[in-house]
Amino acid sequence: MLITIIIILAVLSGLSFAYGAHRAKVWEDSKQRLSSRPGHYAWYAVIKFTVPSWLLLFAALLLKTTKIAVISPAVVLACSALLVIAGFIISSKKFSPLLNARVIVEKHIRYLLIAASLVSILTTVGIVFSILFEAIIFFKHVNVIDFLTGTSWNPDTAFLEGAGRESEHAAKPEFGSAPIFAGTFMITLISLSVSVPVGLFAAIFLSEYASNNFRKVFKPVLEILAGIPTVVYGFFAALTVSPLVVKVAGFFGLQADYTNALAPGLVMGIMIIPFISSLSDDVINAVPQSLREGGLALGTTKSETIKQIILPAAMPGIVSAILLAVSRAVGETMIVVMAAGLRPNLTWNPLEGMTTVTVQIVDALTGDQAFDSLATLSAFGLGLVLLIFTFIINLVSTYIVRRYRKIYE
């Protein structure tokens, strides 16, 4: 029934468009002076005749999805038909060459753009609250300080408490997240140590030294790295880089696990290079040519111009590119699962296995425990802390961007 209503409204919208276009063509053929383009009259007919019915259908679906109320499809269809008829009767009387349809159409387009902007904002707010409510339930049972400072993560026996079997001789669940966040920061730092210098140097070369023909070929090839699925990077890290890390470590007399943090960090850094190089290249190219010419006119060399003038001028965009890379590294899961393992391990040694926040979130939500068990709810606790961390990064980036923008604008 829903599909039927959508098809009917789509057909009516098409007929309304054709009606408006036909009326405008008749006026044009009779040499009447129109206040708007013919296309504006066609879209005016669509807006006045069928848009209220589309809004009614959307509201009915929203109420049903949120389980606030269920409106019968027959009622929706009947009300939609009445709205179309009412819109046709009322609005067709206003149809005339003097009608400024352009203003009305553009006003509704502005409403559409505002609604599109609100979708992303409301989605973000919904995500925050969905995590927050579940995290509050988790932190009612687990102390926040113990969660943030604890060094042992072992939630497997949490189901015993949920089943009222906590008196059984089993170890109590432990939710110390320090090893998980330490693993996240370790792998992120390793990946940034690879991606930031390589990506930035590649961007400088492409924008300042490479010829246009070379740049047209090399930049798309570099950006192909961003389109490779992360599971492929995971295979590369687990089957190629990790054994290589073990062999190199053994050559220097060190012992490395096959599931170590260094291999996924290096591969993740390679994966992130296109994010930094492509965005930084665009930002550096956007620096006004007059700044380059002014620096060279004052007697600076090309390298001095890049270091003293171009890079500081492009710094806000470069910082944004690096922070995008940080977000990408923090949120990566597949490479870490395949190459670093699932073991929470608080260590400074990147040759040992460790895990990250996103991996533990996936592990908690895909486990065999009930959704209301502490083991599952711990995913929301981790997600909330990760969300706050990301929010702080965005605040810092905003401060840096505004600071440099004040100087160079």
Question: For residue range 154-163, what is the model confidence (pLDDT) as tens digits?
Answer: 877 766 665 5
Angstrom distance (rounded) from CA 328 to CA 235: 19
In this predicted structure, the answer to whether residue 390 has a pLDDT above a threshold of 90 is no
Q: Are 268 and 233 in contact (CB under 8 A)?
A: yes
Q: Is the four-CA dihedral 24, 28, 31, 35 of positive or negative sign?
A: positive
Q: What is the pLDDT of residues 45-79, one digit of tens each?
A: 999 888 989 999 888 888 888 777 888 888 888 88
Q: Are 320 and 284 in contact (CB under 8 A)?
A: no
In this predicted structure, the answer to whether residue 406 has a pLDDT above a threshold of 60 is no
Collect all residues with Cβ–Cβ distance below 8 Å to 195 and sequence separation of at least 6: 268, 269, 270, 271, 272, 273, 275, 276, 325, 329
Angstrom distance (rounded) from CA 338 to CA 334: 6
What pLDDT, on the 0 to 100 scale, is given for residue 160?
Answer: 64
The stretch 380-407 carries a mean pLDDT of 80
The stretch 279-303 carries a mean pLDDT of 88
Name the residue with higher pLDDT: 190 or 329.
Answer: 190
In this predicted structure, the answer to whether residue 196 has a pLDDT above a threshold of 70 is yes
What does each C-alpha distance from 290 to 35, 282, 296, 297 come to in angstroms? Answer: 45, 17, 10, 10
Confidence of residue 170 (pLDDT cuts 50, 70, 90): low
The stretch 16-28 carries a mean pLDDT of 89
Q: Are 385 and 148 in contact (CB under 8 A)?
A: yes
What pLDDT, on the 0 to 100 scale, is given for residue 282?
Answer: 87
In this predicted structure, the answer to whether residue 408 has a pLDDT above a threshold of 80 is no
In this predicted structure, the answer to whether residue 285 has a pLDDT above a threshold of 60 is yes
In this predicted structure, the answer to whether residue 190 has a pLDDT above a threshold of 90 is yes
- The C-alpha angle with vertex 20 and arms to 18 and 23, in degrees rounded to 5, equals 105
Class of residue 397 by CB neighbours under 10 A (exposed 0-12, middle 13-18, buried 19+): middle
The domain at 174-406 falls in which architecture? Orthogonal Bundle (1.10)
The stretch 312-320 carries a mean pLDDT of 86
Confidence of residue 222 (pLDDT cuts 50, 70, 90): confident
What pLDDT, on the 0 to 100 scale, is given for residue 357?
Answer: 87
Q: Are 237 and 339 in contact (CB under 8 A)?
A: yes
Q: Are 155 and 378 in contact (CB under 8 A)?
A: yes
In this predicted structure, the answer to whether residue 318 has a pLDDT above a threshold of 70 is yes
Angstrom distance (rounded) from CA 265 to CA 186: 8
What pLDDT, on the 0 to 100 scale, is given for residue 194?
Answer: 92
The stretch 214-223 carries a mean pLDDT of 83
The percentage of residues in the chain with a pLDDT greater than 90, rounded to a whole number, is 15
Q: What is the pLDDT of residues 265-281, one digit of tens each?
A: 999 999 999 889 888 98
In this predicted structure, the answer to whether residue 397 has a pLDDT above a threshold of 80 is no
Confidence of residue 172 (pLDDT cuts 50, 70, 90): confident
Confidence of residue 175 (pLDDT cuts 50, 70, 90): confident
Q: 353-369 burial by CB neighbour count: b if 16+ within 10 A, else e?
A: bbbbbbbbbbbbbeeeb
